[in-house]
Amino acid sequence: MNGFLHHCFVLLSLSTIFTSFARAFDYVDALQKSLLYFEAQRSGRLPYNQRVTWRDHSGLTDGLEQGVDLVGGYYDAGDHVKFGLPMAFTVTMLSWSVIEYGEEISYVGEMEHAFEAIKWGTDYFIKAHTSPNVLWAEVGDGDTDHYCWQRPEDMTTSRRAFKIDENNPGSDLAGETAAAMAAASIVFRKNNPHYSHLLLHHAQQLFEFGEKYRGKYDKSVGVVKNYYASVSGYEDELLWAALWLYKATDKEEYLEYVINKANSFGGIGWAITEFSWDVKFAGLQIIASKLLQEEKHRKHSHILEQYRSKAEHYICSCLNKNNGSTNVERTPAGLLYVRQWNNMQYVSTATFLLTFYSDYLKKSNQKISCHEGIVDHEELFNFAKSQVDYILGSNPRNMSYLVGFGPNYPKRVHHRGASIVSYRENKGFIGCTQGYDYWYSKNGPNPNVLIGAIVGGPDNQDDFDDDRANYVQTEACTYNTAPLVGIFAKLNFLNNPPLIASF
């Protein structure tokens, strides 16, 4: 046996030994299913190539009362309100997944579906941004929507639309939508340059609008307060938008904004232990840290180092290596636990940020110094992978919290469309409360499987009650799944690298 073959044989033998200890998951299956989920959440007129066939057209008169076309976009969860802020964050995270892990997504032939998932959101944002200083923030309202349990195709609830403008500002919503469109403009730059340019134009206008007319969107759009209140304020979104615009344009003015407002807007002041549709600081700090690598940013190193310090506080807190109470809690089996309601959203966003930072540390040959010791890229990555594997079934219940993945997953997801017989099978109208009477209280599994959804997940003791009424644990949201699209692709790539890499 020659030296090269012997080397390969030894590597194969070692990999077989290690694989036998670790639980192997089909990350390609997880990736494919996660992208399928976004098709189940579509509002509007469904395209000819719609793969989730239990769904049909819905919300076809959205915006009509206000004389504007707001057909399209995504339902955020198990109901039928179109909330602008979580929708925009979902699109930002999908775009960031493609920007960082596009090669790995392409490797398994899923790039087209990733493009479609992003474009379904950005097409809607273009419609919703009807003039430079007007952005439609929401269609429908949570109170009337939650009174009914219907399929989206049967909706009888109010579809009133709400907007932000010069007199009713919403810098957080304008900022996140600008971030989403700027990130998406990077995604489409090569394969659809005209569309990319259009997205960037909207992103720049929205950022200017949000910056010039400052205010929290939940003050202008009061109906959102009980559902997606902007607790963190709008400063994080304005910094976040400026940083994404810098990435998309390379224009110094956007970076100057992130540097000059770092202190007054809390960018280098807030040490945060969550990253979510509401709180962008950790994501902002982690992207800003990476700028330190480039020589041209040397003049800003003093501020960028402070961003990095806060980024690493977030990472150390996830790894349980900060000083005491500033660590993120964990369940007995090791799942990050931020709060009771829909905890998985914080797990998936943390997983993305930790993986992204692990890549950065590896490329720049750096380590992190936490209060409890030094952390290298490998430790960071292994912890992120442990969170993904927990979601996919490596947990005390052997349950996959990614619906449709593996043999054991939640069967009673809190989701109107999935829990009622498909409109394609039965076009008979189901009234507002009729769904509650007949479908909501049914003990059996949902008639339609909401493939690719990541539900709220277990409690702080790793316990989970698969009950439709238990919306804290069984409702799924678009922003739970979006951050994991790229991570599933990366994990598959590491498990199954191209053969050419062996030479």
Residues classed as catalytic: 414
The structure tokens listed for 371 are 């209060």
Place of tokens 């304005």: 238
Q: How many other C-beta atoms can be found within 10 angstroms of the C-beta atom of residue 370?
A: 19
Q: How many other C-beta atoms can be found within 10 angstroms of the C-beta atom of residue 267?
A: 27
Contacts of 190 by beta carbon, 8 Å cutoff, 6+ apart: none
Task: Report which residue type is found at 75.
Answer: Y
464 sits in the region (left: phi over 0; alpha: psi -120 to 50; else beta) called beta
Chain centroid to Cα 77, Å, comes to 12
List of E strands, 321-433: 329-330, 336-337, 368-370, 373-375
CB burial readout 225-244, b (16+ within 10 A) else e = eebbebebbbbbbbbbbbbb
Q: Is 443 exposed, middle or buried (0-12, 13-18, 19+ CB in 10 A)?
A: exposed
Helices 235-249 and 252-260, axial angle in degrees (round to 10) = 150
Contact of 142 with 226, CB cutoff 8 Å = yes
- From CA 120, how far away is CA 111, in angstroms rounded? 14
488 sits in the region (left: phi over 0; alpha: psi -120 to 50; else beta) called alpha
Q: Is 350 exposed, middle or buried (0-12, 13-18, 19+ CB in 10 A)?
A: buried
The structure tokens listed for 329 are 């809690």
Length of the chain: 503
